[in-house]
Structure 1
Amino acid sequence: MSVNITFLGGAQTVTGSKYLVEHAGVRVLVDCGLFQGYKPLRERNWRPLPVVPSRIDSVVLTHAHLDHSGYLPLLAKEGFRGRVHATPGTRDLCAILLPDSGHLQEEDAAFANRHGFSKHHPALPLYTRQDALDSLRLFHTVPFFHPFEPHRGWRVSFIPAGHIIGAASVLLEVGGRRILFSGDLGRSDDLLMKPPADPPAADTLLIESTYGDRRHPEGTVLDELAPALERVARRGGIAVVPVFAVGRAQTLLHAIATLKAQGRIPHGLPVYLDSPMAIHSTQVFIDHPGSHKLSPDEVRAMAKVAHFIETPEQSKALAAQHGPMVILAASGMATGGRVLHHLAHYAGDHRNMIILTGYQTPGTRGARLAAGETSIRIHGQDVWVAAEVVQLRTASSHADSEQLMTWLRRLPQPPGQVYVVHGEVGASDALRLRIEHQLYWRARVPEHGSVWPA
């Protein structure tokens, strides 16, 4: 019997990854991500999946970022009762990310209802914090390199992918086929994370392509961040830094701690981490010491370099303080959360700075800021942007096009078919062309909703 893959997300877009693998009446969903970015993409989150959630037998997660895990609470809410298989690190991060995602959606809906700027009456969250907590009961953890059988005749292995704590590539063996899902691959030169492990042999490969058409610039995040922070400190301004709570926040904290220790930025420059989720995610680096490059002393320095802001009241109190100072707050693309309040408060002052720390999905506020727009809409209001906008080019935790090709060349033998996924159309097609012209492998960029054989 054939093995088929339905591309329910992460196809010709860098968000919403969901890949449904079917064989002999069994359905396994690899990744279960939220769509983010453009409104037409976000609206997909509200549409029913083409497969009834109760008929999905299990889920396998590559890692915890919401574009790979954030749909899980809704899947469970709508009837999924199977196991969610993940590495211990992914489970620990999902325990932080998913409830926070539900909480933010509840807060955003309540804010919209109070201020009347939603087109829906009343505005409702996609799912709640309690829905997320309920979905965590479905998790079953498996370490790297420990093959397991989620169903009879199905075999799954997790291989380290770098990127963030717990991130894995997934080898799925079923129906005589070996299907490898790259997940999000980390960099070989990442500041925090170890490089991805070499990939195993596979008949079919799904390769991410976030940076499929780009190379990271030379240099390090330390060299890029130091002059920006020194500049904003010199003019007494406030740097607002939208960060992804998992991975990017810790990279910035480690970089700031290192720069202060080296004397490259003022030692007394106040730093605030205004994200309970990022605070708790930093603890995961302590709990998983073998999963990253940092020494115990470096982890402690990273945790101590910032004042932790836990409550909304503490967050609001920052507005009464004067610069210079640095505020790190989620979310990394300015799509929601506390960073929106800081942007609304500080974006209009030319002494201030907005530091974008990585890839900005098209359609997000972060992408509009990176494009130089002088007005962005926050909570139904147009906010003038006079602050200096700096986009760090070296802080990404994704492999670039050269690093992706290097990983592909480490496959023991050519796969029969490559599907290029999790990238914007241009990035995916650029990587497809390189795979075909340089490696001479068959490669395709699948469309959303398409079904292809494994």
Structure 2
Amino acid sequence: MRISFLGGAGTVTGSKYLVEDESLDGPILLDCGLFQGLKNLRLKNRDPLSVDPTKLSAVILTHAHLDHSGYLPLLVKNGFKGPIYCSDATFELCKILLPDSGYLQEEEARYANKRRFSKHNPALPLYTQEDAEKSLSVFKPVKRHNKIKLGSNASFELFNAGHILGSSFVRIQINGKLIIFSGDLGRPNDSVMKAPEDLVDCDYLVVESTYGNRKHDNSNPIGLLAELAQDAWKNKAVIVIPAFAVGRAQTLLHLFADLKNKGQIPNIPIYLNSPMATNVTKVFCDFQDDHRLNEQQCHEACEVAKYIRSPEESKDLNTRSGPMIIISASGMATGGRVIHHLKAFVENPKNIILFAGFQAAGTRGASMMAGAEEIKIHGQYFRVKARIVNIDSFSAHADYSEILNWLDSAKKAPMKVFVTHGEASASDSLRQKIEEKFNWNVEVPFLGESKELS
């Protein structure tokens, strides 16, 4: 058996792990995500894969986030016939995320051509909305804990990873050998998502390290949210929250609804300006086994914000004054409607830009978090005068102590652990921590590296 790290190694994005063995019907990909963040990473999305898509026998998808799923439309466009295995909830989310991704790429290409700020003439999308919709036809959702055949003596099964709706870690069995891919691991005490299932037996483990060198702030995020909302009300300010459309947006809606119900914040207008997040919020109520919210809480989360649907409504928000709260994608401020809100509100010192999730290197979010005095949007520079706030405890990724606790739930030690899905310093830090705590054989693979597993 051989595993090749085609993405998600040395970086948080672009997860793609190629597994090859004679017992498989053909090579399989574990996740198929987009590189995001730094330009040199994004350019890799244009590079051909090191495996012919027509030769792949299957893709197994851990969850719907684009850094794990966003390359699938291009894979299908280039000849992959399927199947794409995933959980039911992940499929429902991909029906929303992938066409939206194609649409946004088309929009950005059109905007670049109109304003002529791209170095490419013409600027072309990586794939289109139509490409994304075609890729949905080869998805094959499966239930967790069901063993699905991949070949003569090969199978896989899914387990709840607790990261977002539908997220799973995957155990693949090939000729009696077991390899687990953690995907993105959630947190044991998340306010919305259920805790990840315990780590089951495996011979090899590929584990994420997004927060491999950090512990989350244990301060109360609800108290800080209330304080910020009260400040915005008092100062007639605008709070812009770049939020991941899947997971973070729903958590924020739930918490704001709870705060309003308890009278802990004024009746400040809240707008959800992300068509994708709007659709995802509705899906949440269909998969209550995946999260902690009851039917009433789901309803309240859906009702707390006014949904902004049309581009005209979105543009109108930028002409209004506070107090108001705008929740909008994308979560790292790399695209989507939120960048237009940043253009409108980031230069006003009374406004607040609130980050509530991981910001990958090279993104606008990471730049603002690092104290950038200006940001570039659509070829123009905007001064960062607004107050920049980060609530780290909102993260849907396990920190290093939570990852170690998850590893400690294993009944037997794996023969080898590969640490991936993290910046180089985070992955190496987690490697050291695993070696120190468990004395396991741990390695940090580099991008493009292949490993033979006996």
Please indicate the TM-score interval, normalised by the length of the shorter structure: over 0.9
The structural deviation recorded for 1:241 is 0.6
Q: How does 1:167-206 map to 2 (within 5 A)?
A: 167-206=167-206
Instruction: Spell out, residue by residue over 1:301-325, the C-alpha distance to the aligned partner (whole angstroms, 9 max, x if none).
Output: 1000000011111111112322100
Q: How big is the shift at 1:384? A: 1.1
Q: Offset of 1:221 from its aligned partner?
A: 2.1
- Return 5+ residue gaps in structure 2 as ranges: none
Q: Does 1:258 align with 2:248?
A: no
In 2, the alpha carbon distance for the partners of 1:251 and 1:364 equals 22
Residues 288-337 of structure 1 show CA distances to partners (whole Å, capped at 9, x for unaligned) of 01110001111001000000011111111112322100011100000001
Does the 8 Å CA contact 1:4/1:23 hold for their aligned counterparts?
A: yes
Partner residue of 2:147? 147
Residues 355, 390 of structure 2: 8 Å contact kept: yes
Give 1:351 shift: 1.2
| 1:91 paired residue number | 91
Amino acid aligned to 1:272:
Y
2:295 pairs with 1:296: yes
In 2: Cα distance, 1:262 partner to 1:367 partner: 33
Query: Equivalents in 1 of 2:191, 2:452: separation in Å?
Result: 38
Answer whether contact 1:224 1:394 (CA < 8 A) is retained.
no
Q: What letter is aligned with 2:358?
A: Y
After alignment, is 320-329 or 128-137 more displaced?
A: 320-329
Deviations 1:264-297 (A, max 9, x none): 211x200000001000000111110111000111
Match of 2:281 in 1: 282
Greater displacement, 148-157 / 44-53? 148-157
Residues in 2 aligned to 1:15 and 1:338: alpha-carbon distance in whole angstroms: 21
SS in 2 for 1:183: coil
CA distance in 2, matches of 1:130, 1:117: 25
Give the conservation status (yes or no) of the 8 Å contact 2:238–2:326: yes
* 1:237-252 equivalence runs, <5 A: 237-252=237-252
Tell me the equivalent position of 2:344: 345
Find the counterpart in structure 1 of residue 442 from structure 2: 443
Aligned to 2:357: 358
Match of 2:2 in 1: 4
Matches of 2:354 and 2:37 in 1, distance apart?
Answer: 19
Confirm or deny: 8 A CA contact 2:242 2:333 kept in the other structure. Answer: yes
Q: Is the 8 A contact 1:420 1:446 kept in 2?
A: yes
Q: Alignment partner for residue 20 of structure 1, among 18, 21, 24?
A: 18
Matched, 1:306 2:323: no
Separation in 1, partners of 2:251, 2:10: 28
1:50 maps to what in 2? Answer: 50
Matches of 1:195 and 1:221, distance apart in 2: 19
- Cross-structure match for 1:66: 66
Structure 1 partner of 2:127: 127
Distance of 2:258 and 2:187 partners within structure 1: 20
Equivalents in 2 of 1:51, 1:290: separation in Å?
Answer: 37
CA shift digits 1:221-268 (9 cap, x unpaired): 2122121222122110101110000000001111111111222211x2
The aligned amino acid for 1:96 is I
Q: Are the counterparts in 2 of residues 159 and 199 from structure 1 also a CA contact under 8 Å?
A: no
Letter in 1 for 2:191: L
Letter in 1 for 2:165: I
C-alpha separation in 1, matches of 2:309 and 2:5:
39
Q: Is the 8 A contact 1:113 1:123 kept in 2?
A: yes
Name the count of aligned residue pairs.
Answer: 451
Within the alignment, does 1:393 sit opposite 2:417 as a pair?
A: no
Amino acid at match of 2:57: D
CA distance in 1, matches of 2:85, 2:386: 44
- The secondary structure found in structure 2 opposite 1:287 is coil
Q: Which amino acid is 1:418 matched to?
A: V
Question: Cα deviation per residue 1:190-231 (whole Å; 9 max; x = unaligned)?
Answer: 010000001110000000000111111113321221212221
Distance between the aligned counterparts of 1:220 and 1:246, measured in 2? 22
Q: CA deviation at 1:385?
A: 1.1
Cα distance in 2 for residues equivalent to 1:373 and 1:151:
52
Contact 2:82–2:139 at 8 Å: present in 1 too?
no
- Per-residue deviation at 1:53? 0.9
The separation in 1 between residues aligned to 2:95 and 2:82, in whole angstroms, is 18
Q: How large is the RMSD of aligned CA atoms in angstroms?
A: 0.9
- Aligned-pair distance for 1:30? 0.2
CA drift at 1:175: 2.8
- Give the aligned residue type for 2:279: H
Once residues 95 and 38 of structure 1 are traced to their aligned partners in structure 2, the CA distance between those partners, rounded to angstroms, is 27
Post-superposition offset of 1:350: 0.8
SS in 2 for 1:313: helix
Distance 1:320 1:380 in 2: 21
Q: Is the 8 A contact 1:23 1:175 kept in 2?
A: no
CA contact (8 A) 1:160 1:169 kept: yes
Question: Distance in 2 between the 1:259 and 1:179 partners?
Answer: 43
TM-score with structure 1 setting the length: 0.98
- TM-score under structure 2 length normalisation: 0.98
What amino acid maps onto 2:90 in structure 1? Answer: T
Residues 350 and 386, structure 1, Cα contact 8 Å, conserved in 2 = yes
Contact 1:221–1:255 (CA under 8 A) maintained in structure 2: no
CA distance in 2, matches of 1:264, 1:434: 41
